[in-house]
A and B are shown apart, each in its own frame.
Chain A
Amino acid sequence: MIIEQLDKPLPGSLMPTLAGGYYTDPNVFAAEQERIFEESWFCVLHGSDIEKPGDYKLVEVGREQLIVSRNRKREVRAFFNVCRHRGMRVCTETEGSRRNFQCGYHAWTYDLDGKLIAAPNLTKMPDIDRDDYGLRKVHVREWLGYVWVCVAEQPPSFEETVLSEIVTRLGEVESIDHYQIDTLKIGKRICYEVEANWKLIIENFMECYHCATIHPELTEVIPEFAQGWAAQTNTGLGAEFGEDIKGFTVDGSAGVGELPLIAPNQDRRYFAITIRPNVFINLVPDHIIIHRMFPTSESHTYVECDWLFLPEVVDAGTDVSKSVELFDRVNLQDFDACEKTQPSMASRIYRDGGALVPAEHHIVPFHDWLKAELNA
């Protein structure tokens, strides 16, 4: 890595950000793909995206394209989308439902567990080990109803990475269990193409110094955000709704059915968790908002955002538009800010970076983590 950071803190209240090149240099992005996205547990899709055996979706993790699917026993499986014969993409449509995965080049055919089951003349080549030449598997975990994958040969501990972020923010993993997220249904999904580096989006999500300026609706619902301190600066406290606010909606009106097992100190509060490198979790009493980011280049990030509600709320066709609209607006406001920040990252004025005020100092550990991963 050729980009040098300021070694000493800026005088007084300010601490340094990353240098501009971290957001614009393709070499930095390539290193992030290799050392972060391809070494982490990466949340790729919701279990309901691949509901039945044989349903699959293609996802991109780092430089790799993966097939994420269910086998005949409904267990989740993920494979590198690379034919073991001559390397063609085995699946070429972004999603679908298959009884097996057949390469369109020479018809090497793999079952839903990845085993090589057929190929022209395969029975004449009994020395080919069907498992050794099966689709290469990717490590898979299911948590919160989502599928998490790791393309590394040796994945990091899920507990020490993903779950420890929950502990950092909520105090204990059990606190998130009260929301029973794995039982909820997606009421709305909105996808965003953001012309900004993924780290700008994470840094934006972590702090609330911008809230009073760009998020009028959110600050109306959570007045304390006007002070600039994000819910991510504390542990286990979250941020409280305003007195007159009935629910986490665009106009502060009542939400929908409250999640039944949340604790008293989770009522009328908003909690936010960043799970590095690609997930944001937002908890409110009646729904959950989960962002999954897919960084595609140093200046582009694809974001999928799900709003999850009680199954009966979704099944009944309940109008959740006021709940959805609040955070959709927040997303659009945030992504607009990130997109207007991205071009300046290449300016000579930002060569050595900018500054973080005290309400943003908790972003420094994110930068420290990033640099440690890149230098590991």
Chain B
Amino acid sequence: MLRICSLSELVEDEGVRFDTVTPPIAVFLTSAGEVYAIDDTCTHQDASLAEGWVEDCRVECPLHASTFSLLTGDVDSPPARRGVRAHRIEVVGDDVYVQLSALAPNLPPGVEY
């Protein structure tokens, strides 16, 4: 697993984008204290999910309001039609580790990394 950040870098109910991995991922801390990671780029159009509204373990894309599960990456409603990848997280002390998904990312048209 890859150390992606420290727990203290995360803010409750907010996401942080990390482009130290490709494609960039978004790491979230929920109000319940859980940490999740999904691909940061919405599958519909290039937007950073880390900037979205976090509620009930879902994040709403700031551009067109499709929401994605922080647990599975599943999308709820258009305009995004495909989910994002979810990544496995492990927190050890203050260190946050990620196991990136082996699946191919669902990037929006025109976005390449």
Residues of chain B within 8 A of A375, CB atoms compared: none
A118 located at the interface, meaning its Cβ lies under 8 Å from any Cβ of chain B in the complex: yes
From B41, which residue of chain A is reached at the shortest CB distance? A123
A111 smallest CB distance to B (angstroms): 7
Over the window 181-203 of chain A, the binary record of Cβ atoms lying under 8 Å from chain B Cβ atoms (1 yes, 0 no) is: 00000000000000000000000
Interface SS of chain B: loop
From B51, which residue of chain A is reached at the shortest CB distance? A117
B95 located at the interface, meaning its Cβ lies under 8 Å from any Cβ of chain A in the complex: no
B60 located at the interface, meaning its Cβ lies under 8 Å from any Cβ of chain A in the complex: yes
Residues of chain B within 8 A of A124, CB atoms compared: 46
A121 located at the interface, meaning its Cβ lies under 8 Å from any Cβ of chain B in the complex: yes
Residues of chain B within 8 A of A107, CB atoms compared: 63-64
B13 located at the interface, meaning its Cβ lies under 8 Å from any Cβ of chain A in the complex: yes
Q: Assign chain B's interface to a size class.
A: 10 to 19
Residues of chain B within 8 A of A3, CB atoms compared: none
Q: Indicate if the CB atoms of A99 and B60 lie closer than 8 Å.
A: yes
Interface centre among A99, A117, A118, A122 (most CB of B within 10 A): A118
Complex Cα gap A72–B98 (Å)? 28
Q: Indicate if the CB atoms of A118 and B53 lie closer than 8 Å.
A: no
Assess A118 versus B48: contact at CB under 8 Å? Given A99-B53, A100-B53.
yes
B105 located at the interface, meaning its Cβ lies under 8 Å from any Cβ of chain A in the complex: no
Pick the contact of B62: A72, A117, A121 (CB < 8 A): A117
Over the window 31-54 of chain B, the binary record of Cβ atoms lying under 8 Å from chain A Cβ atoms (1 yes, 0 no) is: 000000000010001111001010
Residues of chain B within 8 A of A117, CB atoms compared: 48, 51, 62
Interface centre among B13, B48, B53, B60 (most CB of A within 10 A): B53
Assess A121 versus B46: contact at CB under 8 Å? Given A72-B13, A99-B53, A100-B53.
yes
From B50, which residue of chain A is reached at the shortest CB distance? A117
Q: Indicate if the CB atoms of A118 and B62 lie closer than 8 Å.
A: yes
Over the window 1-45 of chain B, the binary record of Cβ atoms lying under 8 Å from chain A Cβ atoms (1 yes, 0 no) is: 000000000000100000000000000000000000000010001
A129 smallest CB distance to B (angstroms): 15
12 A-B contacts (beta carbon < 8 Å): A72-B13, A99-B60, A102-B63, A107-B64, A109-B62, A109-B63, A118-B51, A118-B62, A118-B63, A120-B63, A123-B46, A123-B48
7 extra A-B contacts, CB within 8 A, seeds A118-B61, A119-B63: A99-B53, A102-B62, A109-B51, A120-B63, A122-B46, A123-B46, A123-B48
